Each structure stands twice: as structure tokens, then as C-alpha cells.
Structure 1
Amino acid sequence: MKNEEKIFSILISTKNRCNDLILTLRKLEYLLIRNDVECIIYDDGSNDGTFNYIQNNYPTILLKRNEVSKGYLYCRNKMLSQTKAMYAISLDDDAHFLTNNPLEPIQNYFESNPHCGLIAFRIFWGRTEPLNTVSFEFPQRVQSFVGCAHVWRMKAWHNIPNYPEWFVFYGEEDFGAFQLFKQNLGVHYFPEILVNHRVDLKSRKNNSDYYIRLRSSLRSGWFLCFLFYPKRIIPRKMVYSIWKQLQLKVFKGDVKVLQVLCLALFDLFFAIPKIIQNSNRLTENEFNSYEKLPAARIYWQPKDNVISSDFFK
């Protein structure tokens, strides 16, 4: 079957996580042999042998490489622009499906919901797979999605701008969700499809890049606020966002967060020209409708314990 006839494309961006990627591909092997599936891997400047391993062991995978890292948003945009498939599944290199044979349910859901532009999966965050995978949740439209595991209807993707590479890290999911909303298309949470994101959340705060991630998270949230929120809402959201960082972190002794706040504000200032150029602001009515949607379903835990998260709430 020719590339343009593929129904599904599995897209993975990776950098220096060869062992994680190997495990993910082993979990995906039964899907990769299907005639209606292609897999594109973008190696973003790895120096741990990732490119050679994939080239030697998975010759059918469409393998791309940056000699020098250009960032995962660059890689995602490239892969999404190159695939000819109807549906593009984005997976992190440390994530795999726990649901057997997930592709037919995905296709059936898209066909039954023509105004769904993107499907967000149910995600379990943990190094090991959960013993209980049962969920009693129902599909529903939500505000946004998680980057590590979702699937685009490519017709919808081609109707919105590419992910903003100037965000660098974080925020692209909400950017895409807002753009879909402006097109009267929705993000739908589809709990039938369960993914294991092999990340230990409790250890993240102890990682050396914690404050880098925090800075990126703050500035991307502010970028989104200035790009999409009605102007009268922006001051209140900004004050609330900064106050919560002071209240929950700085006033409790994490003084370094004050420096992170200042750096993120500088980032916001220097991004003003890009914000003006790319603004796609919601009307008051659109904003009110958006606010009524449930927040993105980010963390799932067994026994139907679902934790929602939203940047400003």
C-alpha cells in the first residue's frame, strides 16, 4: 500500500532516549506491520545511537534526523506536514498503548463525530503498568489535550496554523486546541484508549531541569493568554497566575521561583511581536463557551480517580 493510502501514521519525536524508544517500538510492533499504518520517527540530534538502531532494526520506519537539535515542536510540525495519512497519532518515545488494537475504535469515533478534530487518550503516568485498567468514564468534549498521546484528524490539522516553535517547550497543546475551537471543531477525551506514559511524576521536582520546565510552563501559559483571551480578561488572569506562584512556592521558601517569574516575564515581553502577529482572540461569547468545557483530562488513576488540571484554575 502506498504512503498516500495510509489511514494511520504514528509519529514519534525522540532525543537521546534510545532505551525508552526501543521499548515503545516493541510495544507497537503488532501495529507497525499493518498495511494501513506508517510510522515516522524524528531523531532530534541524538548522540546515543538512536538513528543507527532504528535504521538497522526497523527498516520500514520513515526515519528523519536533525544533526543539531531543533526542538520537538519543529519535529512535530515536520512530521505532521509530511504524513499523508487520515489520522496522525502522536506518541512520546516513553509512551505506549495499553489498549489492544486501538486503531479501529479511533477511526470509528472520528467517523461518528465529524466535528471532532482531535482525540485525547486516557493516560496513566507511571514507570510500571497499572494492575487495573478499567474506567467507567464516557467520551466528552474537553478544553485541551496532552501532548504525549493523542491523535489528529489530519483534515483539521491542515486548517489551523502549525505549532508555534517559538514556544520552545510546553503550550502547543492548548495552542492547537484554541485554534480548533475557533474553527468550530472540538478536542474529545476518549477514555476507551489507554496509554502508559512511563514517567515518575513525583521525581520530576528533583530533576535538574525543574526550574527550566517551570519557566517554560509559565511563559507558554502567558503566551496563550495574550494570543487567545479577550483583552479584558488578560490582566486578571496574569495577576492570578503570578500570585499563585508567589503563594504556593515563593512564600513557602522556594525563593528561586521569584527569579523564574522574572525570566518568564522577560520572555513574554520579547515575544510581543510574535503575539501580535499570531493573535487569534476569542470573542466574549466564544470565551464563555470555552470556559464551560471540562478541563483537559491529564492524569488517570485506577478506580476511576481522574485528576484534571488547568493552567489558570
Structure 2
Amino acid sequence: MTSIVVLTFNSINFIKSCLDSVFKQDCNDFEVIVVDNGSKDGTVDFIRTNYPSVELIENKENLGACKARNQGIEASNGEWILTLDCDISLEPSFLKRLTSLAAGLDSRVGVLQPKILKNDRKTIFSCGIFLSGIRRFYDLGKDKIDNHKFDSPKYVFGSCSAASFYRKSMLEDLREDTGYFDERFFFLVEDVDLAWRAQQRGWKAYYCPEAICYHSGNSSGSTPAERRYLCFRNRFLSISKNENLFGKIKLIPVLFFYDLPRVMLFFLRGEVKLGREVPK
């Protein structure tokens, strides 16, 4: 069985499309858990009224994507966990393609990455996570037109948690005191951190291009400045956790010539909180 964990936060404009696509899947061996982070727009009442089979976990405030996702995983019963942001909608064959592929893969494959397209259904959002030698992370194919260059299955560094198919035994193996997903990250870059830890423990990530879903946009409601702050802070947190001493020494020139000027730019823009946080 698969456990589908959906996160919501003031998601009334997205949740119907998401859950309708879940319940239109070609297979039905799954449970659905929605974790709500203190929505004030009627999201919870809408789910309770229209999707009575959904297990609903209600937080009184926004605890962040990491904490909410961890709550859903803890409540799950499936061998595989599909994490979904509320602004994701699935093709009807999505889950069947993932489960069929998973059944024939190496047992050390701990996560499958679907092809995530933007809502225009032709532009790529993510075909997996890539971590560069200077420890910058990218979504493979991001903003490129889907012209079949990303139609071949392959191993990747990690999977974008907006729509990821995780083996629960891997998540249990990677669990820390701060959770499956490190709750200090709040949201953003937590999937990079998880992928990095998975690689270090011998787990693999695999890209499944036949499983297709669509990503509508920024359902978190965060501002660009907030996202820049969290991306910077969480990138440094991930490096401090996962990079070895020699690797950190090698990164010093990168931090000085690339990151320090960007921190100064944030000061000039008035984003003082971001600029002060990064060097810590």
C-alpha cells in the first residue's frame, strides 16, 4: 500500500484539483493523509465535507512543511510514501507507474522522482535534484520546454519533495532527532538535505519520466525575500551537516567570491535579516 501525504496551508484554491486527481488514480491501494498547517481560509472544512475518507491532521499554526510532512509520515501505514504539495495534480496513471517501477528496482532505491511539469503542461519544474561540486543545488530541467530530452529513466542525486515517492524503510533509516525531514529547515532545501543523507548511507534515487504531475505555483504564500532567506540559510545548514571537513575547506573560496557578494547585495536591498543570517 501507498500512503499519500498532502500538505495544506490556506490552500482552498489548490486542494480540490489536487485531491480530485488523487482519487482518480488508476489504482486504489492507497490511503490519503492531509496535514493542515493552521489554514484560515476554509481549507479544513472543505476537505472534511468533500473527502470524508481522508485522514486529517490539524495543526493550530503553521509549523512548516518539514514538521507537517513528518507528522504525515508518522501517521502512515504504507510501504511507500508519496509526498505532495497541495498545488500538485496527478495524471491518472501516475501512482500505477510509480508502483510498477518500484516493484522491479534494486532494494536500495529509496525514492522515485516523477516528471514534474509546470501548470502549462509543457515547461519542466523538476526532473530530480542535482548537487554541484560547489554545493549549489538545482532542479534538473527547470524551466526548459519538455521536448523529450528528459524522457529516459536514470539515477539522480535526489527527488523534489513537492512530489516524491519514498520508500518508508529509507525514511526510517535516515530519521534524526529533528525528524525524517530536518524540522530546522522549516521549508525549502529540506529535500536536498534528505537526499544528501541518503547518498551517504548508500540509498539511491531514480527518475521515472512516465509518472507525470503538474505543479501550479507557490502555494506556501511566501514572499521572494523569504524564499531567498530560507534558501541561503538552509543551504548553509545542509553543508554544515553533511559536508566533510576537507570539503568545507575547499568551499572557502566559493563562499568568499560567490556568496559574500550576494550577502552584501541583500544588505543593499534592505533584506537585513537575510544578510545577517547567512554568515552564521
TM-score higher than 0.5 here?
yes
Q: SS of the counterpart of 1:170? A: coil
Q: How far apart, in 2, do the equivalents of 1:226 and 1:252 lie?
A: 22
Deviations 1:243-273 (A, max 9, x none): 324556856995436752322334xxxxxxx
Amino acid paired to 2:209: P
CA displacement at 1:171 relative to structure 2: 2.0
Q: 2:23 aligns with which of 26, 29, 38?
A: 29
CA displacement at 1:130 relative to structure 2: 3.0
- Alpha carbons of 1:59 and 1:253: their partners in 2 closer, same or farther (altered >3 Å)? closer
Once residues 113 and 191 of structure 2 are traced to their aligned partners in structure 1, the CA distance between those partners, rounded to angstroms, is: 10
Between the aligned residues of both structures, percent identity stands at 19
- Given candidates 135, 141, 149, the residue that maps to 2:148 is 135
Q: Which residue of 1 aligns with 2:228?
A: 214
* Cα shift readout 1:121-152 (whole Å, capped 9, x = no counterpart): 111124x3339966352111111221211110
Q: Which position in structure 2 is the counterpart of 1:228?
A: 242
RMSD of Structure 2 on Structure 1 (CA): 2.8
Report if the CA contact (8 A) 1:250-1:258 is conserved.
Answer: no
CA distance in 2, matches of 1:208, 1:86: 32
The equivalent residue for 2:66 is 73
Q: CA deviation at 1:218?
A: 0.9
Find the residue that maps to 1:178 and give its secondary structure. Answer: helix
2 CA distance for matches of 1:212 and 1:252? 12
SS of the residue corresponding to residue 85 of structure 1 reads coil
**1:208 and 1:256, CA in 2 relative to 1: closer, same or farther beyond 3 A?**
farther
Among candidates 96, 101, 104, match of residue 112 of structure 1: 104
SS at structure 1 position matched to 2:274: helix
1:164 aligns with 2:164: no
Question: Is 2:4 the partner of 1:10?
Answer: yes
What's 1:260 paired with?
A: 274
Determine helix, strand or coil for the equivalent of 2:174.
Answer: coil
Paired residues for 1:232-247 under 5 Å: 232-241=246-255, 243-247=257-261
Match for 2:201 among 174, 180, 183? 183
Whole-Å separation in 2 of the counterparts to 1:140 and 1:59: 38
- Which consecutive unaligned segments of at least 5 residues does structure 2 have? 124-144
- SS for the counterpart of 1:100 is coil
How big is each residue's C-alpha offset from its partner over 1:151-175, in whole Å with a ceiling of 9 and x where there is no partner? 1011211111121111222221122
Equivalenced residue count is 253
Q: Taking structure 2 as the reference length, what is the TM-score of the superposition?
A: 0.80
Question: Structure 1: which 5+ residue stretches go unaligned?
Answer: 1-6, 267-313
Q: Is the 8 A contact 2:266 2:275 kept in 1?
A: no
**Alpha-carbon distance in structure 1 between the residues aligned to 2:226 and 2:87:** 20
For residues 274 and 146 of structure 2, the distance between their equivalents in structure 1, rounded to whole angstroms, comes to 38
TM value normalised by structure 1: 0.73
Letter in 2 for 1:19: N
Code of the aligned partner of 1:59: P
Q: Secondary structure at the match of 1:40?
A: strand
Choose the corresponding residue for 1:100, options 92, 107, 110.
Answer: 92
Shift in Å at residue 15 of structure 1?
0.6
Q: Which structure carries more helix by proportion? A: 1
Q: 2:232 is matched by which residue type in structure 1?
A: L
